[in-house]
């Protein structure tokens, strides 16, 4: 009997986040396909996503960079720990997320004889803002056999600005599970959140940090027409360094009874069912996983025209607005609140696009090909049933 290949999956952390979500979903699907999977987080030891992975039978090991060995410099200590883990676990292929991961895993993977190392980049903000990040990415990209990005503009950046060979760059969109919309789940979640029957509920999911520009979203919400604002609600799911500042801004805008901070949640899929519309105001994005999840849940979407969002929306699958423009964002929110016909059309066309182009199965196939493992899967038993 051939030995089942083992895939190592490296997340940024075990906390809720877009890149973490796609990393976890891929790990779960690799296991479903019959591979052995081991997970770790470069900057975390525990969190809700670790529990999800372990509950699914995926073993997680502690490779937190912050856990330094005081006998050696932190970087050297970590490289040695990582090399030892790769050798002990007999990792056949390694999939990691974000350019910084290659600094921590590239040399150990080479020395341990890992034949395939794939790095997925989800956003360009750090690279565009920091010359040191660009320099390190160019240097350590040599340790990746392939680099994937989530939207075409990122591929162009890696080739044109960073000078990496086109043959090494692959554009693979995030994949999403499609879950049929449930009226009973929607009603239950609205009741749980205390959403009045006649209220229009906007939902945001993501980190509460500067790049998400949620101050603009709060301003836009407060600018809705008076009669519309009277029955509107805005729910923000997630946590981050700007929460206190945003809560103060909400209060200053006299929206305390209409804007609710729900914190980090592990029931986002159900909460999406309760939403009348999804909205995000980011200054920078790649291809937001949560936007795909909202569209897959048939929730009409509004978002800023950054990163891969214009391509995802096309001309008729979502309402795109300029970043940092509360007037335009508020106008889009009013339009989607006012027209049930608009909401229905946006949701239907978006779901059709998700089904055609963002199937998780097809994306898993592409990653397995880059990881050099599809031939093994062809002969493996189908364990999905």
Per DSSP, the three-state class of 31 is helix
Asked if residue 133 and residue 97 are part of one domain, the reply reads yes
Instruction: For residue 105, give the nearest of 84, 88, 122, 124 by alpha carbon.
Output: 84
Asked if residue 151 and residue 267 are part of one domain, the reply reads no
Whole-angstrom CA distances from 55 to 26, 50, 287, 382 are 15, 8, 28, 21
d(CA 274, CA 235): 10
What pLDDT does 385 receive? 33
Asked if residue 196 and residue 155 are part of one domain, the reply reads no
What pLDDT does 381 receive? 45
Q: Count of domains in the chain?
A: 2
Instruction: For residue 262, give the nearest of 295, 228, 234 by alpha carbon.
Output: 234
| Number of CB atoms found within 10 A of residue 36's CB | 18
Asked if residue 166 and residue 25 are part of one domain, the reply reads yes
Q: Is residue 281 a part of any domain in this protein? A: yes
Q: Is residue 10 within 8 Å of residue 42, measured between CB atoms?
A: yes
Asked if residue 207 and residue 166 are part of one domain, the reply reads no
- 8-state DSSP, 142: G
Range of the structural domain that residue 97 is part of: 6-175+359-379
Q: Is residue 125 a part of any domain in this protein? A: yes
Asked if residue 300 and residue 171 are part of one domain, the reply reads no
Which burial class, exposed, middle or buried, applies to 180 when counting CB atoms under 10 A from its CB (0-12, 13-18, 19+)?
exposed
Q: In sequence order, what are the beta bridge partners of 119?
A: 96, 147
Share of the chain above pLDDT 90, in %: 88
Query: pTM to 2 decimals?
Result: 0.86
Q: How does pLDDT run across 119-164, given as a tens digit for each residue?
A: 999 999 999 999 999 999 999 999 999 999 999 999 999 999 999 9
Which burial class, exposed, middle or buried, applies to 302 when counting CB atoms under 10 A from its CB (0-12, 13-18, 19+)?
buried
What pLDDT does 382 receive? 42
Q: Is residue 298 a part of any domain in this protein? A: yes
Place of tokens 């969190």: 47
d(CA 372, CA 165): 20
What pLDDT does 276 receive? 98
Q: Is residue 307 a part of any domain in this protein? A: yes
Per DSSP, the three-state class of 284 is coil
Asked if residue 343 and residue 206 are part of one domain, the reply reads yes
Q: Is residue 102 within 8 Å of residue 114, measured between CB atoms?
A: no
Q: How does pLDDT run across 341-350, given as a tens digit for each residue?
A: 999 999 999 9
- Provide the CA 253 distance to its chain's centre, in angstroms: 30
Asked if residue 214 and residue 90 are part of one domain, the reply reads no
For the range 249-254, what are the long-range contacts, defined as Cβ-Cβ under 8 Å and sequence gap of 24 or more? 249/215, 249/218, 250/218, 253/218, 253/219, 253/222, 254/222
d(CA 154, CA 149): 6
What pLDDT does 71 receive? 63
What pLDDT does 378 receive? 53
d(CA 17, CA 40): 15
Asked if residue 306 and residue 251 are part of one domain, the reply reads yes
Per DSSP, the three-state class of 178 is coil
Q: Is residue 384 a part of any domain in this protein? A: no
Q: In sequence order, what are the beta bridge partners of 280?
A: 303
Residue 95 parent element (H or E): strand 93-97
Asked if residue 241 and residue 108 are part of one domain, the reply reads no
Q: Is residue 365 a part of any domain in this protein? A: yes
Asked if residue 375 and residue 313 are part of one domain, the reply reads no
Q: Is residue 122 a part of any domain in this protein? A: yes
CATH number of the domain residue 253 falls in: 3.40.50.2000
Asked if residue 74 and residue 41 are part of one domain, the reply reads yes
Q: Is residue 385 a part of any domain in this protein? A: no
Low-confidence residues of the chain: pLDDT under 70: 1-2, 68-72, 375-385
- DSSP for 158-210 reads HHHTS---GGGEEE----B------HHHHHHHHHHHT--TT-EEEEEES--SG
d(CA 377, CA 380): 5
């Amino acid at each position: 009997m051939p030995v089942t290949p083992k895939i190592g999956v490296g997340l940024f952390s075990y906390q809720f986040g877009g890149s973490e979500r796609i990393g976890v979903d891929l790990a779960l699907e690799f296991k479903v396909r019959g591979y052995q999977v081991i997970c770790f987080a470069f900057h975390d030891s525990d969190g809700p996503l670790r529990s999800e992975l372990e509950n699914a039978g995926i073993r997680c090991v502690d490779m937190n960079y912050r856990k330094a060995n005081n006998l050696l410099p932190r970087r050297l200590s970590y490289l040695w720990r990582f090399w030892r883990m790769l050798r002990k676990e007999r990792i056949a292929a390694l999939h990691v997320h974000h350019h910084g991961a290659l600094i921590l895993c590239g040399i150990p993977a080479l020395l341990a004889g890992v034949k395939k190392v794939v790095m997925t980049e989800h956003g360009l903000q750090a690279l565009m803002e920091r010359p040191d990040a660009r320099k390190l990415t160019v240097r350590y990209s040599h340790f990746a056999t392939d680099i994937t990005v989530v939207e075409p503009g990122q591929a162009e950046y890696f080739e044109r600005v960073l000078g990496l060979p086109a043959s090494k760059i692959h554009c693979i969109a995030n994949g999403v599970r499609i879950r049929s919309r449930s009226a009973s789940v929607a009603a239950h979640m609205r009741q749980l959140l205390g959403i009045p029957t006649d209220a229009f509920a906007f939902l945001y999911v993501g980190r509460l940090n500067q790049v998400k520009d949620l101050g603009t979203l709060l301003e836009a919400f407060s600018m809705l027409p008076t009669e519309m604002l009277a029955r509107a609600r805005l729910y923000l799911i997630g946590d981050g360094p700007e929460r206190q500042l945003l809560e103060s801004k909400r209060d200053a805008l006299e929206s305390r009874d209409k804007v609710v901070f729900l914190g980090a949640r592990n029931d986002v899929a159900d909460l999406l069912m309760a939403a009348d519309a999804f909205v995000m105001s980011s200054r920078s994005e790649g291809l937001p996983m949560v936007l795909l999840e909202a569209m897959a849940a048939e929730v009409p979407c509004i978002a800023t025209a950054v990163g891969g969002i214009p391509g995802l929306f096309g001309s008729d699958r979502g309402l795109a607005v300029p970043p940092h423009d509360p007037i335009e964002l508020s106008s889009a929110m009013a339009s989607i609140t006012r027209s049930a016909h608009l909401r229905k059309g946006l949701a239907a066309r978006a779901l059709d696009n998700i089904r055609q182009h963002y199937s998780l199965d097809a994306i898993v196939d592409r990653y397995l090909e880059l990881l050099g493992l599809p031939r093994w899967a062809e002969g493996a038993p189908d364990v999905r049933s």
